[in-house]
Structure 1
């Protein structure tokens, strides 16, 4: 399959997983993170602060590593994971 087709299949897998209550609950249990805020005010805050995007990215990474296989993820996603890992290490090393 071409990369474009595989990227679409991976994206659909992430979207399917985000709608699967069992998978979302397993994510919460394993990571302690919630995928979606529980109250309207929390959702509004998450959307305004960008936390919603961070939550979705975190879930996409978790489900990709756990179920899909990072080696089969789109290159851009793998690169973004690396960029975020590097930024997190720099933040920690700067004492923030």
Structure 2
């Protein structure tokens, strides 16, 4: 009796999942792609005197300068506690194991 009830219940659950996945959703409306076009924005530096000389020159326009927090210096895979330490660990360990 338990086995039959369990099989009927699982059959009902599977059929409900099939019907739910095949149904149309009202939130699936196609949006106009041109409606939300992003415009290019230039964000000026807060302290331009702190910029490196390379970034100030007009000849170089392909450099991206990114500021992050300083890594904690735990460059062991077991002890690294921040994402930045893990990035450094990945660079070091990949070089040690791929050759």
TM-score computed with the length of structure 2 as normaliser: 0.27
TM-score computed with the length of structure 1 as normaliser: 0.28
Higher helix proportion, which one?
Answer: 1
